[in-house]
Amino acid sequence: GAVVSQHPSWVICKSGTSVKIECRSLDFQATTMFWYRQFPKQSLMLMATSNEGSKATYEQGVEKDKFLINHASLTLSTLTVTSAHPEDSSFYICSARALVRHGSYEQYFGPGTRLTVT
């Protein structure tokens, strides 16, 4: 089946620094990837849609200058949290869209990245 990886799985950074999270589709090409944020004991909230070769589309309330998304190739999307603050501490999950059958799509999820800002 389709596999999506994320790196790193866990990162601790100091307040004010930036951190980059990578999302890769390992055995398929993904023109569209999605970034979600999940706070403890809460659901996944869509942050942005990442399209290969074009600008990301951000959900309302998500700061595009703080959460930089780059989808440079058909297998890689990156999320950079700039000038991180403790309130950015969360679990970040990416997913990649794949065409499965009869023109329908499915999303495959990465294992997530735990970000802790101290």
Binding residues vs other proteins (CB under 8 A): 32, 34, 38, 42-46, 49, 91, 93, 95, 97, 104-107, 109, 111-112
Minimum Å gap between C-beta 14 and other proteins is: 24
Measure the CA dihedral 40/81/76/106, to 10°. Answer: 30
Who's near 94: CB < 8 A, 6+ residues apart? 4, 6, 21, 23, 33, 34, 35, 36, 77, 79, 109, 110
Minimum Å gap between C-beta 73 and other proteins is: 19
Choose between 14 and 104: whose C-beta lies nearer to other proteins: 104
Angle at CA of residue 74, ends 72 and 78, nearest 5°: 45
Minimum Å gap between C-beta 10 and other proteins is: 11
Choose between 57 and 70: whose C-beta lies nearer to other proteins: 57
Q: Is 32 exposed, middle or buried (0-12, 13-18, 19+ CB in 10 A)?
A: middle
Choose between 29 and 83: whose C-beta lies nearer to other proteins: 29
Minimum Å gap between C-beta 8 and other proteins is: 14
SS3 of residue 65 by DSSP: coil
Choose between 40 and 86: whose C-beta lies nearer to other proteins: 40
